[in-house]
Amino acid sequence: MRLRILLSLMLLLLLAGCKPSISDTGENIINTGRFLDDVIVVAHVGAPYEATYNSLGGFALAKKYGADAVEFDISLTKDNQHVVMHGPSMEMNSTCQHLMKNVAEYTLEELKADCALNNGEPIRTLEEMLLEIKDWFDYYFIELKVYDQNKISLQADDVAKTIKTFSLENKTIVTSYDHDALKKVVNQGIVGGRDTYTPNEFTHLNNSAYEYFLTDFRVLDNSIIDFIAHTDRKLVAYTASDLAQFKQIYDMGIRIIMTDDIKNTMHYVLSGSN
């Protein structure tokens, strides 16, 4: 009887050890239930092949499929409110595309009254979106879009304040192609990710305030990947359009990968089958 109890306890401990977790540094995923246990998969704008991008519905699908992280864009309205939209135009995912206006030409009230996403969802502020999804993912990559250089400080202050309001400092990486805006965000204690198409920037990694660097996987080569591997910075490659490209990026040795094909990618990551 005692032996049976002892064996049962050992089995419970073994099963507990198999629960998925991500290290505090974000460098490794330890998940014995996954086929690939060393990769962080980032759902680019949710699930764009099945849902309106930057939508709650798309993020819900990414969560359903098991994405480790989600990436989305934020833009500023005329009255200085961050909304979850790529901008600057109202683009193809909005019912206001035909008006040929930019996000910055609307106040938040006007935007909510006149426009919606193509799937019928309301356009949400950053705060409204985080309220919905703050417990869904291990990491949040928020791309800060800057279309008015005079509002850089305002944008940096607002996004940092909102992230801290939800206590997401340890789970959020703010990314941007605008160096000045990103630097101001990082100075407020938020982790920064530098978006760049220029491989030469990687030679300055050790003097950079940014913990993450994000770039198109097609500009990377072995020398850049090896160089970054010997720093304490993290490389994020974007954007795999399908499972074949995800595998290509993975075989390059990159372990944080952004993808549009979140459904098929996560099926492969979890099960090993195509």
Per residue in 164-203, pLDDT (tens digit) is 999 999 999 999 999 999 999 999 999 999 998 877 777 6
Please state which of the ranges 17-21, 50-54, 137-141, 157-161 shows the lowest mean pLDDT: 17-21
In the block, residue with structure tokens 């760049």: 196
**Residue 212 in contact with residue 233, Cβ under 8 Å?**
yes
Q: For residue 117, report the phi and psi dihedrals to the nearest 5 degrees.
A: -75, 160
What span, in angstroms and rounded, lies between the C-alpha atoms of 20 and 37? Answer: 9
54-68, 100-114, 149-163, range with the lowest pLDDT: 100-114
Task: Decide if pLDDT at 12 tops 60.
Answer: no
Average pLDDT score over residue span 213-228: 91
Cα gap 271→267, rounded to integer Å: 6
pLDDT at 265: 99
Q: Of the CATH numbers 3.20.20.190, 3.40.800.10, 1.20.1090.10, 1.20.140.160, which one belongs to the domain with range 21-271?
A: 3.20.20.190
Sequence spans of domains, the chain: 21-271
- pLDDT confidence tier of residue 159, bands split at 50, 70 and 90: very high
Rounded-to-integer distance, Cα 212 and Cα 191, Å = 8
Residue 6 has pLDDT above 50, yes or no: no
Q: Provide the pLDDT confidence category of residue 113 given band limits of 50, 70 and 90.
A: very high
159 vs 4, more confident = 159
Alpha-carbon distance 122 to 68, whole Å?
25
Q: What is the mean pLDDT of residues 78-90?
A: 95
d(CA 82, CA 154): 10
Which of 71-80, 92-101, 154-163, 168-177 shows the lowest per-residue confidence on average (mean pLDDT)?
92-101
Provide the pLDDT for residue 3: 41
Closest CA to 192 of 170, 168, 207, 176: 176
pLDDT band of 204, cuts 50, 70, 90: low
30-39, 211-220, 256-265: the lowest-pLDDT one: 30-39
pTM for the whole thing?
0.88
Residue 231 in this model has a pLDDT that exceeds 90 = no
Tokens of 179: 């160096």
- Lowest mean pLDDT segment, chosen from 27-31, 114-118, 214-218: 27-31
Residue 15's Cβ-side half-sphere holds a number of Cα atoms within 13 Å equal to 6
Amino acid 270: pLDDT: 98
Averaged over 112-140, what is the pLDDT?
Answer: 97
Instruction: Select the more confidently predicted residue: 1 or 131.
Output: 131
Taking all residues of the chain, what is their mean pLDDT, rounded to a whole number? 88
Positive or negative CA dihedral for 195, 87, 104, 140?
negative
